[in-house]
């Protein structure tokens, strides 16, 4: 087979093996299957809602992949379906699954599906669906849940990452409102996760989720993901970074030449922000010898030199180790040492800001809990919470699974021989978290703005689940700016939930 045929075959096989014959396992006369995607719970005790994101990208990817199949000419199609049958036989042994259902789908020429969803950027409480999906042609009732595996695989990570970023942003906004520059928070969370993700596609989707709440990123594919799948943001800044060094750069000049490496970098970047990893050998020597020796030059730059520690306990490195000998660099920590060399300014909230020519970023093993402890510690010392930038990497975004928020696609309604049936999953051996909704579903809002689920729903005019995809066509799109704006609105509404 040629490349196009192989891509078409891969599309037909983008599911779990056990789904290959579900078409024949449904009751005779099955015409429609209706499913939903919902976060059923949480492993993070303080999260009661998640950020919906990633569907628009997935639907475009889905349509593009299936179009390769629909564009096959008859001879190409025969070869692909023969390849499908050979693959399935090798996998399952002799069987009667066949491939005529795919031949029939090819003749139709599009995906006969309807997807209804809330707007992306919406905060959805646990156990309330993000979306529903159903077939529109009774011949293809099997297609709805044939796509379950891929739908789950493609959406759980952008939703999870967008939620974690929103959680971090809420923390940093809260601290900045008390102590620092609130406008700086959008750059205070910088995404470093690419190298620790399971691949470029995952890094792009996850990194895009981060960028709903923040603007700092080093994950270039995340920006391309947004440009491709969420265009039309009218010039809004999607993501930004700064010139920065790595350890190989610092090592290349030799241990005895580290100060000269700083000199070379300052000459190379006479203005703007420059981030320098500074613990290649001795962080404390950099802070107590090299920077004081170049203080006048640094303070004369039109820009900021950002010092990046990269090892040790983040809170102790940035805020100081109370168990270290009093007066030592270790006892003072990075922020206090920068303050001693370059000075501070007291802001309108009574907290000290580092001189605008210097800053600090820490990007190793930062978590919500560590960001919480570090900002609290800084404020206890009189510093603004925005004195440091956090690099959120794979320790934040890859140490997650589909079960972080117990995400699942489940069917809740079928139609057999013209009769609708409400169905549900409710295992007696479970704690109740796996119990599914039932019937056709709708999402409404309470008086306080909190979305809630309605079961056994039909044609609800107040339903926030709106058709976004039908019969191969994407019917509703959002720009990334609109997704961001929606989350800001939803966050304001979310604050009302807590008070009701």
pLDDT band of 435, cuts 50, 70, 90: confident
Q: Are strands 442-445 and 451-454 parallel, antiparallel or unpaired?
A: antiparallel
For residue 149, give the 3-state DSSP assignment. Answer: helix
pLDDT, residue 317, reads 97
Which residue is it, tokens 């050979």?
A: 86
Structure confidence by residue, pLDDT tens digits, 457-469: 988 888 999 999 9
| Three-state secondary-structure class, residue 109 | coil
Confidence grade of residue 499 (pLDDT, cut at 50, 70, 90): low
Q: How many CA atoms lie within 13 A of 469 on its CB side?
A: 24
Q: Which pLDDT does position 500 carry in this prediction?
A: 54
Tokens of 29: 């006369």
Sequence-distant (≥ 6) Cβ neighbours of residue 385 within 8 angstroms: 172, 175, 176, 178, 179, 180, 351, 375, 378, 379
Q: Is the pTM of this model over 0.85?
A: yes
Q: Report the mean per-residue pLDDT for the chain.
A: 95
- SS3 label, residue 350: coil
Instruction: Please give the domain boundaries of the chain with CATH numbers for all domains.
Output: 160-398 (3.20.20.70)
Cα-only R_g, the chain: 27
| Predicted confidence (pLDDT) per residue in 358-397, tens digit | 999 998 889 999 999 999 999 999 999 999 999 999 989 9
Task: Supply the DSSP symbol for 119.
Answer: P
Dihedral sign for Cα atoms in the order 212, 214, 216, 217: negative
pLDDT of 268: 97
């Amino acid at each position: 087979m040629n490349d196009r045929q192989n891509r078409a075959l891969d599309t037909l096989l983008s599911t779990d093996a056990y789904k290959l014959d579900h078409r024949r396992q449904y009751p005779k006369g099955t015409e429609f299957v209706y499913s939903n995607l919902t976060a059923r719970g949480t492993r993070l005790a303080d999260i009661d809602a998640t950020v919906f994101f990633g569907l628009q990208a997935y639907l475009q990817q889905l349509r593009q992949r299936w179009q390769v199949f629909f564009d096959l000419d008859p001879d190409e199609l025969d070869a692909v379906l023969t390849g499908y049958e050979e693959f399935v036989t090798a996998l399952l042994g002799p069987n009667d699954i066949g491939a005529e259902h795919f031949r029939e789908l090819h003749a139709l020429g599009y995906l006969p599906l309807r997807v209804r969803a809330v707007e992306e950027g919406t905060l959805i409480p646990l156990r309330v669906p993000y979306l529903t999906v159903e077939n529109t042609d009774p011949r293809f009732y099997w297609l709805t849940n044939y796509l379950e595996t891929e739908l789950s695989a493609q959406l759980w990570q952008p939703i999870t990452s967008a939620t974690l970023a929103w959680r971090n942003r809420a923390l940093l906004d809260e601290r900045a409102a008390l102590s620092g520059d609130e406008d700086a928070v959008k750059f205070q969370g910088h995404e470093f996760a690419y190298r620790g993700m399971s691949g470029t596609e995952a890094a792009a989707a996850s990194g895009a989720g981060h960028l709903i709440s923040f603007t700092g990123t080093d994950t270039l594919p995340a920006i391309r993901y947004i440009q491709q799948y969420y265009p039309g943001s009218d010039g809004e800044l999607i993501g930004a970074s700064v010139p920065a060094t790595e350890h190989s750069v610092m090592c290349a000049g030799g241990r005895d030449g580290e100060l000269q490496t700083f000199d070379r970098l300052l000459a190379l970047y006479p203005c703007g922000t420059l981030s320098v990893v500074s613990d290649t050998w001795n962080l404390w020597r950099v802070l107590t010898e090299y920077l004081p020796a170049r203080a006048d030059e640094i303070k004369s730059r039109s820009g900021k030199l950002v010092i990046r520690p990269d090892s040790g306990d983040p809170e102790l490195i940035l805020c100081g180790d109370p168990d270290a000998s009093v007066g030592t660099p270790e006892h003072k920590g990075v922020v206090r040492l920068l303050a001693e060399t370059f000075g501070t300014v007291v802001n309108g909230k009574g907290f000290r800001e580092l001189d605008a020519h210097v800053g600090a970023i820490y990007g190793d093993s930062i978590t919500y809990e560590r960001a919480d402890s570090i900002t609290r510690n800084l404020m206890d010392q009189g510093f603004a919470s925005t004195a440091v930038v956090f690099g959120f990497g794979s320790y934040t975004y890859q140490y997650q699974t589909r079960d972080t928020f117990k995400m699942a696609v489940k069917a809740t309604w079928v139609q057999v021989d013209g009769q609708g049936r409400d169905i549900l999953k409710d295992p007696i051996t479970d704690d109740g978290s796996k119990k599914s909704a039932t019937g056709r579903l709708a999402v409404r809002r309470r008086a306080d703005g909190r979305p809630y689920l309605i079961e056994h729903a039909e044609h609800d005019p107040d339903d926030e689940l709106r058709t976004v995809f039908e019969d191969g066509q994407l019917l509703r799109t959002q720009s990334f700016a609109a997704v961001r704006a929606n989350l800001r609105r939803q966050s304001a509404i979310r604050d009302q939930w807590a008070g009701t």
